[in-house]
Amino acid sequence: MSLAKIILKNWPFSEGVRARLHWIRSPYQVGESRQWRMMVVFIAEDGDVKEIRVSWGMLPMLRLGEIYCDGQSTGTFPGLERRSIRFSRSLDVSISESIVIPKALYRLGSKWNLREKCVQIVDGDLKVIVPCLEIIRAYFATTRLMASEMLSPDSFNGICSSNMENEKVHMMFSNKVAANIITSGLATRIALVLEDREFNQSWRQIWASASQGEGTSLREPANPLWCYPPAIRKSSWSAVGIGMGNTFFVLGIERFSISRMPPFIKLHYEHPLFRETSRGGTGSGSGSAVIDDNPKEVEVGPEPAAPKSLTNPQIVEIETCAASFLRAIDVIKVKKKSDGLGGGHGEKTGGTGVRNHSIQTKEGTLDCEAGAGALPAIEFKEVSSIVNLNDSFKNFTKALGYIDLKILWCGQENAPEGCKLPLVDGSPRQYLSVYLLFGGKRYFLHEIDNSDRHSLSTLVYEKELPIGLVAVFSQDLLTACVTGGGHWDAPLLDVHLGKSAYCFVKHRKAAVENWKQRLYNALTSLKSKSGKS
């Protein structure tokens, strides 16, 4: 099935005009069906400001500072600063109106924009300000389903059931949820809301803020949504925003790491359509050919429009905010045995299909009331954490995809201050750190951007480390062990890695398959060495 991109049908600018997503306002209800809508503010390059109304279900893909053109995201965030923020235990967290954002950093203009809530975090000399809607997007709204459920007093009622025993959660999704949108990331995020005290408390604050006073608003101004970031003390963020002195205004949280143990270390999740055939196939079954009539682009309008089905949505892939705890959660998708060669039990679809094309553009809806609608539903699905990276890492990540391993953490960052890696076109050189599980042991891989032919071998070593510390360890390693000229210093690596065995994988002009073999050989060699020690 092809994956579509969203186009805003009510795009207010002329063709070819680029505009930055400047602000998002809290949702309010419209129409007889009381569907949730929110106002989104865009600013064009010439300073022209326009507002449009969009479905609340679009929140997962809306990221402040992103550039749009002709109603479609370009995926670029020019002029923003990227920071790794580590919070201490002794900090002050409060909820304030957006007027607290210094005008020198970000001008909001409209009084309705200024009503929105922000989280202020004061940690020593550092002050971090972040819109509450960004906290909600990053921590909770990873899909349309999540966005819809958070504005309901009975979250996940009829959607899924969860049971935790002896640090293991078993989750069962119902047929009300499309099977093809359920990923390990979505299952984990829902399990945290249901089973983690701090995540559950923050989640409930969202509905409480929406329904305060006389109830939900039927038109603007809406009740501003707010919630505290869960488990913020001693956590860390990878974020983009605007800095001025000791104040940093966060526009987007790309990753958060929680420096405590999760309430569960195992998560098994099921769905009635998760099947495994007797021949080893998986999924819900299909005919002998895929019939693909899915559009490449899906238009969404401002007016309420109920979908005809929520269990067969048009999938739109997005990058969600990555999350990690002090210990990785072992997530397993449980599939039931099927006697048939396909999906069995009436799940097999299609036949000898002859169509294999994509419609260019089609209209869809992000609203949640199904049954009588005429438009196809749209749902978001997370992109894997190891894709959509710097182009110079493309073959490296492809090679890893061929190896039987489990990615525990993957982070792309600029070389930290003090690191002797040379600049690339005047900007800090990027590096990729991958923390993975291979053959029952944990390993680090560090790959450096070589787009300008500054070749630095991939560093591979075994290391047991809490997930919450891997980003910090990666930064410290590069700062300490890359020396003059921008190369690994073996004696310094010996000191920094202690007893951890390591090796280098050289870059060569060869096919991805060959690089895969070299990476596999390096991991196997280190595993063999550690087994003899």
For the residues of 320-364, what is the DSSP string, one character each? PPEEE-SS--EEEE--EEESSSSS-TT-----S---B---SEEE-
pLDDT value of position 257: 86
- Name, in order, each residue with C-beta under 8 angstroms of 120's C-beta and a sequence gap of 6 or more: 92, 93, 94, 95, 96, 100, 127, 128, 129
pLDDT value of position 388: 47
221 preceded by a cis bond (ω within 30 of 0):
yes
Structure tokens at 348: 């097999």
Query: Which residue carries 């922000």 as its tokens?
Result: 118
What distance in Å separates the CA atoms of residue 302 and residue 411, rounded to the nearest whole number? 36
CB 502 within 8 A of CB 446: no
Q: At what angle do helices 490-497 and 470-481 cross, to 10 degrees?
A: 150
> How many helices (H) and strands (E) are present in the chain, helices listed first?
9, 31
What distance in Å separates the CA atoms of residue 376 and residue 365, rounded to the nearest whole number? 6
Q: At what angle do helices 512-532 and 394-401 cross, to 10 degrees?
A: 60
What distance in Å separates the CA atoms of residue 378 and residue 175, rounded to the nearest whole number? 17
CB 237 within 8 A of CB 250: yes
Pairing of strands 487-488, 314-318: unpaired
CB 138 within 8 A of CB 85: no
CB 93 within 8 A of CB 121: yes
pLDDT value of position 220: 61
Helices within 171-310 (DSSP H only): 184-195, 197-210
Residue among 78, 54, 470, 137 nearest 319 (CA): 137
What distance in Å separates the CA atoms of residue 522 and residue 533, rounded to the nearest whole number? 17
CB 113 within 8 A of CB 23: yes
Query: Which residue carries 């065995």 as its tokens?
Result: 501
Residue among 217, 214, 164, 165 nearest 191 (CA): 164
CB 70 within 8 A of CB 10: no
pLDDT value of position 353: 42
- Residue ranges for the chain with pLDDT beneath 50: 1-2, 213-218, 278-292, 340-357, 387-388
pLDDT value of position 175: 93
Helices within 331-459 (DSSP H only): 394-401
SS (H, E, C) 119-161: EEEEECCEEEEEEHHHHHHHHCCCCHHHHHHHCCCCCCCCCEE
User: What single-letter amino acid sits at 44?
Assistant: A
Helices within 230-286 (DSSP H only): none
Residue among 254, 259, 195, 256 nearest 233 (CA): 259
CB burial class (10 A; 0-12, 13-18, 19+) of residue 459?
buried
Pairing of strands 81-86, 160-165: unpaired
CB 440 within 8 A of CB 446: no
Query: Which residue carries 């202690």 as its tokens?
Result: 498
pLDDT value of position 74: 86
Residue among 263, 182, 477, 16 nearest 171 (CA): 182
Count CB neighbours of 110 within 10 A.
13
CB 525 within 8 A of CB 501: no
CB 144 within 8 A of CB 379: yes
pTM for this prediction: 0.74
- Name, in order, each residue with C-beta under 8 angstroms of 108's C-beta and a sequence gap of 6 or more: 23, 98, 101, 114
Residue among 393, 372, 176 nearest 272 (CA): 176
Chain mean position to CA 417:
26
SS (H, E, C) 296-313: CEEEECCCCCCECCCCCC
